[in-house]
Every structure is written in structure tokens, then in C-alpha cells.
Amino acid sequence: MALKDEANRDYLTNLLNRRGLNAALDSIRKEEQPLAVYLFDLDNLKEVNDTFGHEMGDQMIQAFADILRRNTRIGDVLCRYGGDEFVVILKRLNRVETVMKKGEEICRIFCEQFSDGLIKASCSGGIALCGADERPTDKLIEYADQALYYVKRKKKGRCCLWSENLQ
């Protein structure tokens, strides 16, 4: 069992990896819905790695994982999705205002943590909602990704809720 758990975890953050995320999506029960699916991206991490080294980049990734742990509930799903991307699934959330406030709060806390040194860091987030009668699928992550790249083009360091009108 320990090996299976290890295979579902990211080595750097101990959050779920993509394999673990897929298992978590499959195990979400109807009573845990509606859901908010966030895709966060650490803005300009490549610049941090190039300027200050990969150790500093790794520290930022670990710091963001810690922020996620402190600002979510037990039972919510936290995943390091890729290099500097994180998926967060908050369960039993249906008010758009609450969903947006939580995403903006996470971005703000990360930015504040790295605002007074040589490194100016921020993160951006895309959000997709899954209603109580929907089945959570990878499509939600695609929608969150579309919202993420929309906000990164418009104003990094913020969150955006997916809608069909995003251009």
C-alpha cells in the first residue's frame, strides 16, 4: 500500500500527482458536489530558475504547496499537476463569490510571501465549476486551463472563472 501511495504522490511537494488526481476524480461522491476545480500556475518560474537557480524554484513550488495545504480543507484534492501547475478541487462549493474569493486569496498569499525580497513572484488561476448533477471529468481541468491562460494574457496574478465567452 505504501508503494501505491508513493506512486500517486509528487516527490517534491507530497501532493497528489496526475495519477493520484485521476484516482481522486474517480472517487468523488455525489454528496461531495458541487465542486470548484482550480488550475494554478506559478507565474515566471522559469525566470526564477534561470536567475536564482532551480533550488530556489523548488522552494517556491514547496511554498505554494504549503499555502494550498493551509488554505483548503481536509478532504479537498490537492495536486501538483506539472512543473509549476497545481490542480485544486474544493468540494461542496457552489457560490461563485466564495469560489472566486478563495482563488484570489491563494494568489494574494503567494504573492505576499515573495514580495519583499529580490524575487517578485505571483500565481494565476483558472477555475471551472462542476454542478451537483455533473460527473467530474478531465474536461473541467481543460476549462480551468482555458480560464488560466485567459487571465495570464490579461493580468497575471489573478483568477478567472471559465465561461464559454472567454476569448
The catalytic site residues sit at 84
Q: Could you give the CA distance from residue 115 to residue 95 in angstroms, rounded to a whole number?
A: 30
